[in-house]
Amino acid sequence: MKKLYRIKKEKKIAGICAGIGEIYSIDPTIVRIALVFLTVATAIWPGIAAYITAWFLIPDKEDFNHRQSVS
């Protein structure tokens, strides 16, 4: 099962799009463009709220790998 995580070294804001791109083998720029398009299409606030929520809920890749090795 694929686990979602944020990537700090490739981030523009929080690394969420880079993490999604890595998991699904998509260029992070395409994910970012899709996010901007969907945010504008949904009247801005739902997209911003979803991104901020994901920022706090999705762990960093380093934290995610550390948790896997400890378990």
| 18-58 residue pLDDT tens | 999 989 999 999 999 999 999 999 889 988 999 999 999 98
* Residue 64 within any structural domain of the chain: yes
Quick one: pLDDT at residue 62?
73
Place of tokens 């970012």: 32
Please give the residue range of the domain that contains residue 58.
Answer: 16-70
* Residue 39 within any structural domain of the chain: yes
Quick one: pLDDT at residue 2?
79
Backbone φ, ψ for residue 21 (5° rounding) = -60, -40
Question: How far is Cα 42 from Cα 34, in angstroms, rounded to an integer?
Answer: 12
* Residue 31 within any structural domain of the chain: yes
Number of domains within the chain? 1
More reliable by pLDDT, 46 or 1: 46
* Residue 42 within any structural domain of the chain: yes
Task: Report pTM.
Answer: 0.75
